[in-house]
Amino acid sequence: MDENGMDHLATALKSQACHLGFDKVGITTVDRWYGKASVLQGAEQHLQQWLDRGFQGDLGWMENPKRQDLRQVMPTVKSVVALALNYYTPHSQPPETQSHRGKISRYAWGRDYHRILDKKLKQLAGWLHTQSPQAEVRYYADTGPIQDKVWAQRSGLGWIAKNSNLITRDYGSWVFLSVLLTDLELPPDPPMPTDHCGTCTRCLEACPTQAIVEPFVVDANRCIAYHTIENRSETLPNWIVPHLQGWVAGCDVCQEVCPWNQRFAKPTTIAEFEPYPDNLGPDLQDLAEITVEEWNQRFRASALRRIKPQMWQRNAQAVQRTRRESEGYTSKTP
């Protein structure tokens, strides 16, 4: 296919992605970002420095060397199609006055985003094959060793902010990211040239545990989201419990205080992202006593299945203990 044909294909691909419900789509080429295979470039070097500081905690998959060289994921890759899907729903977390209710991160309120993204990506990949039957195509929705935020920035979707989230001009950071890889040499879009956080430090100042240790650097070992979702220990670290602020699954504080999110968040068009009733301000006592059977029923088709029953119990009991103590009571560690 000649250059004009590739231009036409790229335009049609973006149109098809929007038709399937994606809110933003951009393209970049792999060769533009890689120098010699043995020399880490830009974001790849930043990732290695982050790993060297031990900020990944127990997230062992972040150490996969494929993250630093997309060609190890797909040796023939020429182009990356980055896609964003808005998941924002205009509901609020429960107020602190409702001390019996917990907080769940907004991304997990509705249906498992992996399922929604996978379906759309499969359709997009299938469409691309109808246009170019010989093309090799792979896609990932937070399921492979891909630096999705980096490739989204390189494709012009947004910039990586001081809280390490990707922010778009249109939807803030309330977006799910995914990528489609292909051996087709599609014309690239200009990358987002600079970040637009400016001198703002609201996310750093608001983080309950100071997990954002410096602009653009998050220490997972200090992050509430990491401990409530990924930490498999029987108990949470004693030092983090007083700072949970009601969070039992994830944490959105650094996103909630972001001016871009406060000004530009838009309701999603995907009805499946609307909250399941039990996920919006869940009753802490229900979670503190949840059984395996209740967990299976309650979190079916939910990204929250990653949090196992004993972890829900642990998280909810920690929040309950903190709130009791803040009200002037004392309690033993459950």
**How many Å apart are CA 147 and CA 62, to the nearest integer?**
9
| Cα angle 106, 61, 245; round to 5 | 30
Burial class of residue 193 (count of CB atoms within 10 Å of its CB; 0-12, 13-18, 19+): exposed
Who contacts 159 (Cβ-Cβ below 8 Å, separation ≥6)? 153, 166, 167, 192, 194, 195, 196, 197
- 162, 201 contact by CB (below 8 A): yes
Burial class of residue 294 (count of CB atoms within 10 Å of its CB; 0-12, 13-18, 19+): middle
Q: Is 142 known to be catalytic?
A: yes
Structure tokens at 325: 């103590």
**How many Å apart are CA 255 and CA 202, to the nearest integer?**
10
Of 69, 118, 142, 278, which residue is the catalytic one? 142
Half-sphere exposure of 30 (CA within 13 A, CB side): 24
- 228, 307 contact by CB (below 8 A): yes
- Dihedral sign, Cα of residue 231, residue 221, residue 215, residue 53: negative
Who contacts 111 (Cβ-Cβ below 8 Å, separation ≥6)? 272, 273, 301, 302
Q: What are residue 178's phi and psi, to 5 degrees?
A: -155, 165
- 156, 26 contact by CB (below 8 A): yes
| Cα angle 116, 87, 24; round to 5 | 85
Q: DSSP character for 59?
A: -
Half-sphere exposure of 314 (CA within 13 A, CB side): 20
Catalytically annotated residues: 142
